[in-house]
Amino acid sequence: MCTLAHVFEAAGLSTVTITSIRSVGERMRPPRVLHCEFPLGRPLGKTNDPDFQHDVLRRAFSLLERESGPVLEDHPEEVAGNEEPLSCTVPPRFDPDLAPAVDEARGLRKAYDRALSRRGVSEVGNAVDADGVPDALDVLQNIVDGTPWKEAGIPGGHTTALANDIRAYYEEAALELTDAPNSGGHQSEAWFFERTEAGKLILAVRKALAAQGAPQPVWFYMAPMYRS
């Protein structure tokens, strides 16, 4: 967002950036930044609190009144996030001959289908549909095991879209398995990358792609930048 702010400003559009990582604003120096010490993924701080959210927006837009910059101000209130992963039990292994993530994804299919039936919509489908998730995980496992990424047959040919489909498949299935259906996005993210075989595999694939010399856009955006 800080980079885009510079691009828009160069085109004559005034911008305000809200950041949750102060060092990014300090390093990138966009014209106007409101730093908010809020959990990542919650730029307006408190959920279901419109008064607080409107206060954040008012403080941000007030930076447009400054005659010179760059300006970096801090929101006066910090918002703590729940860093604990979502409480969600993954079905046990069924076929030990399959890669762990593949077996796991197959075990989640009924939960995913229940979520799709209840919600009527899914974020899965950019690179693969739900049927293709297990095979996609098998391809990623092959890359970790040494298959060159250009020869692996990455579904859809786009690693970021594929990773997002896999994560959406898991997180939507988790809605049917968790005891805390109103948990925040960061808790779902933590559960996926820390508690599931698929999340761990995506992080391993990212490292494998980098080691194989794949261009940074091929692997970097498969997971949040602070995940390693």
Q: What is the pLDDT of residues 15-43, one digit of tens each?
A: 999 988 888 888 888 889 999 988 777 78
Length of the chain (residues): 228
Q: What is the pLDDT of residues 72-89, one digit of tens each?
A: 999 999 887 655 666 778
> Residue 67 has what pLDDT?
72
> Residue 66 has what pLDDT?
82
**Angle between helix 159-174 and helix 109-119 axes, rounded to 10 deg:** 80
Contacts of 192 (CB under 8 A, 6+ apart): 167, 170, 171, 174, 198, 199
> Residue 104 has what pLDDT?
97
Contacts of 117 (CB under 8 A, 6+ apart): none
Sign (positive or negative) of CA dihedral 33, 38, 39, 44: negative
Domain parsing of the chain, residue ranges: 2-74, 100-222
Distance CA 152, CA 113 (A): 28
Distance CA 120, CA 105 (A): 20
CB atoms within 10 A of CB 145: 11
**Under 8 Å between Cβ of 218 and 227:** no
